Structure 1
Amino acid sequence: MPNRSETRVITPALLRDWALPVPTGGKEHRGTVLVVGGSRFTPGAVLLAGVAALRAGAGVLQLAAAESTAAALSIQVPEALVIGLPETGDGAVAGDPGDRLGELVGQADVVALGPGLNDIDETRALLRLVLDAAAPETPLVLDAYALGALSHQPDLLVGAGRPVVLTPNVTEARHLLGREPGHDLDAEARELARRYDAVVSLYGHIATPAGECWREESGDAGLGTSGSGDVRSGLLAGLLSRGATPAQGACWAAWAHAVSGQRLVPRFGRIGFLARELLDEIPHTLATV
């Protein structure tokens, strides 16, 4: 592992020396991932994150999204248990969704919160529900609007000792930092990890609260496409469900996300491939390490 002042480049050799756990037995040994998100107008974000978790090796998938989308999601992802959550008049997931969501959070091995959510106040309530219902050792992946909610309560994770990974893009990093990020994203990832007491994966720049830092350098412009971040957060959740540590899962996910994009370039060029096309590349990419 690197010292606190060193940033290591993520390579296949580094990952081979930091091999993922290889679960044995049935699907229960690969864990249950619960993805919470998806407004009436953005159910695809939950779909992308959920399928990415399965492609990364999760054993059981559960999706919780706006109730108006639940039937369609259950058909699109027949491998998943899908529950519908109450909606506001604007189609956002309501922040007081009832006891069923709390039960699922309490039973899940990994919870990913944020893909497709679109109301900051309702998301703040959902974040509190997840933190209250999840066991202290349950890994959490916070993405999209969940990061905006966290920025309103920056001390929420500090000192809790929870295994949490934050997956901001640059816009979300601005909300978390309270300022525009600088050009040194290694330093910004370290600052966010220290400030929020969580592992941070910022556009392939990964940092821990202790100051360890890694960088993924093979990502290309094609990854800057709608839904790509949802794939990355779900991929990360799937790796955590297999038993990866937060920093290990974040490094593997950043690399697998980038290289899955590279594998699409011969067919589509550097730009123009779709986020959903990354999904089928994930298992082979992971297997090549």
Structure 2
Amino acid sequence: MSIELLSPAEMAQADRKAIEAGPFDGMGLMRNAGAAVAREVLRRHPGAERVHVLCGPGNNGGDGYVVARMLAESGVPVSLWASGEPRPDSDAARAAGECPLKPMPLAGFSAQAGSVIVDALYGAGLSRPVDGDCARAVELVSALGLPVVAIDLPSGISGESGKAMGPAFRAGLTVTFARKKPGHLLMPGREFCGEVALADIGISDPIIEGLGVQTFVNCPELWLAEFPVPGVDTHKYRRGHVCAFSGGPASTGAARLSALAAARSGAGAVTVLSPGNALAVNAMHLTSIMLRKTDDRDELDAFLADRHPSAFVLGPGFGVGEKARAFAMAVLASQAGVGGLVLDADGITSFREAPDELFAAAANAMPAFVLTPHDGEFARLFPDLAADERLSKPDRARQAAARAHGVVIAKGPDTVIAAPDGRAAVNPNGAPWLATAGSGDVLAGLVAGLLAQGMPAFEAACAAVWMHAEAGVRFGPGLIAEDLPRALVPVLAELVAMRCG
């Protein structure tokens, strides 16, 4: 699988390097791209009464001229509409010259039911809202409900951020080239793209690898080599010991969800660290998971010295305040071999008035540090980044990770995982069924469980996000958080088989 996500600038660089390397020049790449789109139109819309190809003045429009020519040569009724003329002597101008159809001005665009639209106006490189005749075309196609095949990216959607910059085509199919772009996976771009087909047009893998790409599709190929599989000679503590901090008597369920998820992930031992007044409530619900009274910093320090746990989850149902801050700082300052701290929910919110204190502690910490904020929690720790509309979600998460000295899981339907070193992954398999209370508590426990088993922080976060989403997708409607740990079992089994195969 091709896991790199290319920004529009990186895609342009890949084009240039491919042309330099050969065997295809720019026109050859354009012909290959147009042919790939034409094949998809013929395969998916064999009964189209007419195909309207809408061409812009740049290379995306050049691809469209190739599509129009090839469809016409195949006997398809084609109407060709142009928004501006290609630059003289450009590849797009050559493609227009090879097309026997006379383009009509986009200002006069009209279509009827039964037609198919090929959007070759702007593609991934667009950096401003579509307007004028292009905006009118978007509105007309939308009003008629016509099927749209977009070239590279639906016009009006940013290839960098996935944002809709004013009116935008809503495609049933988007054909892109060499690699997907962030806008194919980031919301709302993911919805506007429909199905995304990736076409090989002659840009080789070594060229992509030489770009130093730092943004990826979050999938097993990204992290499977680091996925933990126990050896035959292992024992429970060699598989890691996870601790989940519990809230008070009325708020214990979230920590137990985290604890159960950590256990399901493969951690050999899991302990719920409970305030004394919640011990009885937790004890009533725990079997394989251990329980320890932890009311204050002294009891936590004693536990660290005694049991040397591998990873912690702090935040789910814990409560906001000084106690959360003190426990987080104690774990980050630990010299007892702790592998990681996952800070979620109330743990994040507890530092809204003192984020720099948290980040300074993480900078000097031995444990790996992972933050799991949803949009509101992100804004509490990084208000300036959250408010900066110029930033894409991956760039926002990257800057947050660098500032926090930890991995950031920026949750949502297009969850982004970012590391301080600049790597970022966009998760492709999120499902609406995961939008349920307690789902995030399960995710936090999964991350901690993988950290406890020795998985590096970025890879552990990516794996946990993907597994969590995959379990939700497979379970489907009716999912509640309690279902997720068991729904993980077949996902884990397949990953272990892949890892060992």
Q: TM-score normalised by the shorter chain: which range applies? A: 0.7 to 0.9
1:275 paired to 2:481: yes
Contact 1:34 1:112 in 2 (8 A): yes
Separation of aligned partners in 2, 1:144 and 1:63: 17
Q: Kindly tell me: are residues 26 and 66 of structure 1, through their superposed partners in 2, closer, same or farther at Cα, counting changes over 3 Å? A: same
Q: Which residue of 2 aligns with 1:27?
A: 236
Aligned residue identity for 1:145: D
In structure 1, what is the Cα distance between the partners aligned to 2:332 and 2:222? 33
Distance 2:335 2:251 in 1: 25
Other-structure match for 1:262 = 473
Residue 461 of structure 2 is aligned with which of 233, 250, 255? 250
> Identity of counterpart residues, as a percentage?
30
Does the alignment pair 1:81 with 2:282? no
Over 3 Å counting, the alpha-carbon distance change for 1:4 and 1:205 in structure 2 is: farther
Counterpart selection for 1:214 from 421, 425, 442: 425
2:398 to 160, 174, 190: 190
Contact 1:127–1:149 (CA<8 Å) still a contact in 2? no
CA distance in 1, matches of 2:483, 2:335: 32
Contact 2:467–2:488 (CA<8 Å) still a contact in 1? yes
Report the more deviating stretch, 63-72 or 169-178: 63-72
Q: Tell me which residue corresponds to 1:90.
A: none
Q: Distance in 2 between matches of 1:60 and 1:237?
A: 12
Q: 1:161 to 1:70 in 2, by over 3 A?
A: closer
- Per the alignment, residue 325 of structure 2 pairs with 124
CA displacement at 1:134 relative to structure 2? 4.9
Query: Relative contact order, CA 8 A, sep 6+: which one is greater?
Result: 1
State the Cα RMSD in Å: 2.2
Alpha-carbon contact 1:51-1:279 (below 8 Å) kept: yes
Gaps of 5+ in 1: 87-96
Q: 1:65 aligns with which of 270, 274, 288?
A: 274
2:202 matched to which residue of 1?
none
Separation in structure 2 between the aligned mates of residue 161 and residue 126 of structure 1, nearest angstrom? 15
State the match for 1:142 in structure 2: 343
> How far off is 1:200 after superposition?
1.1
The one-letter code of the counterpart of 1:168 is P
Q: Tell me, yes or no, if the aligned pair for 2:315 and 2:346 is still in contact at 8 Å.
A: yes
Q: Which residue number corresponds to residue 163 of structure 1?
A: 368
Distance 2:220 2:435 in 1: 23
Task: Provide closer, same or farther for how the CA distance between residues 196 and 136 of structure 1 changes in structure 2, counting only shifts above 3 A.
Answer: farther
* Distance of aligned partners of 1:131 and 1:13 in 2 relative to their CA distance in 1, 3 Å threshold: closer
Q: Is the 8 A contact 1:105 1:111 kept in 2?
A: no
1:185 maps to a residue whose letter is K
Q: What amino acid is the match of 1:156?
A: A
SS at match of 1:168: coil
Structure 2 distance, partners of 1:176, 1:4, is 30
Q: Which residue of 2 aligns with 1:94?
A: none
Counterpart check, 1:115 vs 2:324: no
2 CA distance for matches of 1:273 and 1:33? 25
What TM-score, normalized by structure 2, do the two folds share? 0.51
Q: CA deviation at 1:136?
A: 6.0
Gap change, CA 1:137 and 1:63, over 3 Å in 2: closer
Whole-angstrom distance in 1 between the partners of 2:272 and 2:335: 16
How far did 1:4 drift?
Answer: 6.7
Alignment partners' CA distance in 2, 1:184 and 1:275: 30
| 8 Å contact from structure 2 (residues 335, 366) kept in 1 | no
Unaligned segments of structure 2, at least 5 residues = 5-210, 496-501
Is the radius of gyration larger for structure 1 or structure 2? 2
Q: How many residues align?
A: 273
Structure 1 residue aligned with 2:304: 105
What TM-score does the superposition give when structure 1 sets the normalisation length?
0.86
Distance 2:377 2:483 in 1: 24
- Report how far residue 137 of structure 1 moved: 5.4
**Matched residue SS, 1:78:** coil
Partner residue in 2 for 1:202: 410
Q: Which residue of 1 aligns with 2:8?
A: none
